Every structure is written in structure tokens, then in C-alpha cells.
Amino acid sequence: MKHQPNQDNSRDDEWLRKAAADLPELPFPGDLAERIRGQVPLRQQRRRLWRQRWTAAGVGGAGLALAALCLVALGFPARLASHGMSTARQASAAPVSASSASASSAAAQGVQTLAAANAAAPTRDSALLPPSQRAQAAALSAASAGNSGSAIGLALAPLAVSSLHLASSRPGGPLDSVSARLSNRGPTALAPQEVVGLLVFLSADRAGKASVEWLTWVNGPDQTLAAGGQTDWSFQPVGAPRDAAGNLQGQPVLLFYRRGVVSSQQADTVWPLAPVQVRDVRVQSRQTWASGSSVAVTVQVHNPSSQPVSVTRLLALAEWPPDSHGAAAAQAAAEQSASASAFADNAAAPAVGDLTGWLRPGALDLLALAAGPGQPQTVPAGGTTTLTLRLAGPPGLDRAGVPRVVLVLLPPGLSAAGSAG
């Protein structure tokens, strides 16, 4: 009997091996593999940024004095400066590149400023566009044009998009930019400040269900386009999903809207307000580089309804007032804390008129899917959850104060695939 425990243990070992082999196993799902593939370029980018920061910290940190002494002694100051500049260029290589040298600095930073030039009700320019573009605009609507509820309504500009394709920004490089040909189908010239573009990357699962991978506002033509005129347009998206080789992933959709918000009845695309309350908006700096910066905007989202709200259907619009992101304002704000708070309310159900202030002249507007890694899946009924929106903008965005944030609904059949832009 002395060895009984060991014998038991051996028998247990054998039984366990057999029983364990019979246990069900979780499959490694294809969509998880797809998700991982989609995150690879972002992780590579983050790794590169970290390495640049680490290098800078190594020079600028505790060893700064010693390093400077050594470098001066060795006659390397010029080389150090040169390295710093090339690093800055490398870090800023990702943001937007407009096709023309006259592209605005905002465009060069991957940020679009929306000027609502059309205070008067626009005519339905969409009638001048190909049916495919009207259909795309309608497909991006989460409500019919007749919906009278609170919503952000966008009216198509008479800019027809053709030859939309992915392209390389340098010979032999990955497909890292989007190019298209724009034609002004309207009866009058279109100035750059009159239009704003919406670039969406869509993906489809095996069943054919489409998801929004990423989206952003983009600038229109970089110069006034005469009636009947055409121009080439290109854009290099920052943060859009890419494969391991750096090629953009997903199907691009490009539409141009008249700047400003119109009523649902006049709109080609309608985004209803999500039935939630947005509270306690806070901003924290994430990264800065030579031509831009990024912030994490954290919001408390309360769902007062009795139904959970899916985060994958939420689209966040963040807007900084016109005077908040200028250099002077940024400098003044720099004296303040990097974290601040404000209040915005979705559920107060403001009238459409209350939303016309959105996309106003000079304001800085950014767009992001609410869903993404680390974000909750739903806002529970009666509950409150925290959403973090990662936004990239011009230099000083992190010091520009607190934006107002509104959450709108994507169409029921078109949810976020998981990454935010």
C-alpha cells in the first residue's frame, strides 16, 4: 500500500491524457487571423515611432550633457542636426500628400478643415452625378432623407469621381495612396473651401457583409475647378489599414460633399445622432511629429435607453472651434493642463438647427470610428462606458483644448470593422 499514491497518480496520468484528448478545442477563427493581419502595419508604425522616441530620449535625457560634450569634441554637431531633420521627415512622411505643391498645410498634415460656406440651402447637386455616387452616398446614410430626427445631413457636391484606385507614392513602393480623377459637373466653378471629401475603406467578409475599416475627411481639389473642368487628386491616408508590405487594404469609396450641414430633407447622406449622452470629454496628448500630432480623446458615453447600443455602429465627430487650433491659441493653451474636460450631450436631442454649427468655417473637424481594439463592444442599457478616440491632426492639436464630440450612427448594415481612423 505504500506505493498506492504513485500508482494512483500514474493511472490518473494515463486517464488524463486520454480524457484531455477528448476535450473540445476552440478553433482559431479566420476573422481573428484577418484582424491580426490588419494590425501588423500599425504595430510596425508604432514600433518605428517608439524607436525614434527612444533614440531622442537617449540623446536628450540623462546622457545629454555627456553626449553633447563627446559630439562637440568629435566635431559632430552638424551630423547630429542632420540626423534630427531626417528623422523628422521620416516621421512626417505618412500624413497626407496632396497632388499639387500648392496643397494647404492642413492637407500636408492629414487634417481637413471644414468651412461651411453654404449657409443657404444647397440645390441637389447630386442630380448631376453618376447614379453610383448617389447610391454610395445613400448607402452611407443611416436614415432616409425624409427622417426628421436630429441628424447630421450632408449634401453631395457636383464633383464626379472617376478612376479611383490605389497607387504608390514612390516608384516601386507599396500601394500607399489613393488617386482619382475629379470632374466638376456643376454649372459654376468650385473652390477648394466649398467641398469636403469623405474617404472610406470598406471590407467584406465571406458572406459579403461590408464593414467600414477606416474613414476620414479629405480635402477636395487643391485649386478652384471651373465648371466642366477636371483634375487629378491623390491622398495618402495615415493610419488606414495596410498589409505587411505596406499596401493599403480595403475597397476605397470617395465622395465629395458641400461643406456644412444641411437638413435631412436636403441631404444625400444622413447620420442620425446616436441615442446616447456624451459626457466628460478629455484630451490627452499621444504623439507629436514635425508636421502633426495625435491625441486620445476620452469620452464617457451614457446610454439612458433600455436597449444596448453597439459601439461598432458609432461614428465620432470631433470639432475644435475655429480659434482653438491656431498657433496663438495653441501657444496659450500650452500653458494649461494637457488634460481638460467639457460636456456635450447627444441625448438632449437637439434640433437639426443646433447641429448646423458643425463643420463651420475655420473649425477643425476630425472623424473616427468609435470601435477599435480595447474599446467596449456595447454601451449597455442604462449604463455608462468610456470610449477613447484616437485622432491625428496638425501640430499643436494636443494643446488646442477640448473638442466637442458628437456620436452618430452608421447605417444598420454597415458597422465598423474594428480599427479607427
Partner 1 sequence: MRKQAPPGAAGADELEQWMQAYGRDVLNVAYAYVRNHHLAQDIAQEVFLRAFVKRMTLRQANSVRTWLLSITVNLCRDVLRSWSQRHLVVVDELPVPAAPANTEEEAVARLERAELWQAIQALPLPYREVVVLYYLRGLSGREVAEILGTTEDNVRTRLHRARTRLHAWLTAKGERRLEAPAESRQQPR
Cell of 416: 465598423
Q: Which is nearer to partner 1, 10 or 331 (CB)?
A: 10
Tell me whether residue 345 is exposed, middle or buried, using C-beta atoms within 10 angstroms of its C-beta: 0 to 12, 13 to 18, 19 or more. Answer: middle
Q: Look-up: residue for cell 447620420?
A: 271
Taking the least distance from each CB to partner 1, the nearer of 36 and 121 is 36
**Closest CB 169 distance from partner 1, rounded Å:** 16
Nearer to partner 1, 149 or 382 (CB): 382
Name the minimum Å distance from CB 275 to partner 1. Answer: 24
Taking the complex as a whole, how short is the minimal distance between the CB of residue 214 and partner 1, in angstroms?
A: 18
What DSSP designation does 399 have? G
Q: In the bound complex, what is the minimum distance in angstroms from residue 7's beta carbon to partner 1?
A: 6
Shortest distance (Å) from residue 22 CB to partner 1 = 8
Which of these, 392, 400, 288, lies nearest to 342 by C-alpha position?
Answer: 400
Of residues 1 and 73, the one with the C-beta less far from partner 1: 1
Shortest separation between residue 212's beta carbon and partner 1, angstroms: 19
In the complex, minimum distance from the CB of residue 249 to partner 1, in angstroms, rounded to a whole number: 12
Rounded distance between C-alpha atoms, residue 187 and residue 234, angstroms: 24
Question: Please, what's the b/e burial string for 176-200 (b: 16 or more CB within 10 A of its CB; e: otherwise)?
Answer: bbbbbebbbbbeeebebbbbbbbbb
Return left, alpha or beta for 280; rule: phi > 0 is left, psi -120 to 50 is alpha, else beta: left
Residues that bind partner 1 (CB under 8 A): 5, 7-20, 23-29, 32-33, 35-37, 39-41, 43-44, 47, 51, 243-246, 373-374, 377
> Considering beta carbons, is residue 372 or 393 the nearer one to partner 1?
372
Q: Please give the single-letter amino acid code of residue 279.
A: R
Quote the CA–CA distance of 211 and 248 in Å, as a whole number: 16
Minimum distance of partner 1 from residue 49's CB (angstroms): 12
CB 233 within 8 A of CB 99: yes
* Cα–Cα–Cα angle for 385, 112, 237, rounded to 5 degrees: 80
One-letter identity of residue 384: T
Residues linked to residue 196 through DSSP beta bridges, in sequence order: 257
Nearer to partner 1, 37 or 134 (CB): 37
Strand 175-184 and strand 195-204: pairing?
Answer: unpaired
Strand partners, 211: 203, 415
Compare residues 43 and 89 and give the one whose CB is closer to partner 1.
Answer: 43
| Minimum distance from residue 166 beta carbon to partner 1 (Å) | 18
Closest CA to 408 of 320, 265, 301: 301
Task: Give whichever of 11 and 149 is closer to partner 1, judged by the CB atom.
Answer: 11
C-beta of 48 vs 165, nearer to partner 1: 48
Q: How many CB atoms lie within 10 A of CB 268?
A: 25
